[in-house]
């Protein structure tokens, strides 16, 4: 991709402010969520945590609709139905295993 966009040729100035901002985004955007996810898996168990993780794209889309005024096409809605259907299949099989 960088061959097409030539993003490697952009001049970047590393200032103390930019380094602090990138470090903050790295810690708050990746490290903290990863640690919280690991804590959630330990707290809920593997099956429930995977169900919650599967719902995340749908929740993100709903928030995007209400907060950012995003409109969805028919294929988007079909994708939501597929995700929710997959969640139901996983939950059904998990319940059968538990019995």
| pLDDT tens readout for residues 60-98 | 888 899 999 889 899 988 988 888 888 788 777 776 776
pLDDT at 2 > cutoff 70: no
DSSP string, 29-88: IIIHHHHHHHHHHHHH-HHHHHHHHHHHHHHHHHHHHHHS-----HHHHHHHHHHHHHHH
Decide: pTM greater than 0.75: no
DSSP-assigned letter for residue 10: -
Question: What does the domain layout of the chain look like in residue ranges?
Answer: 15-44, 45-99
Phi, psi of 46, deg, nearest 5: -65, -45
DSSP-assigned letter for residue 98: H
Neighbours of 62 (CB within 10 A): 13
């Amino acid at each position: 991709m960088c061959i097409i966009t030539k993003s490697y040729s952009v001049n970047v100035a590393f200032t103390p402010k930019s380094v602090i901002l990138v470090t903050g985004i790295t810690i708050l955007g990746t490290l903290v969520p990863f640690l919280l996810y690991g804590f959630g898996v330990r707290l809920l168990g593997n099956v429930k945590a995977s169900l919650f993780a599967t719902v995340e794209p749908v929740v993100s889309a709903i928030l995007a609709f209400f907060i950012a005024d995003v409109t969805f096409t028919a294929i988007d809605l079909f994708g939501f139905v597929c995700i929710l259907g997959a969640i139901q299949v996983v939950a059904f099989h998990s319940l059968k295993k538990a019995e």
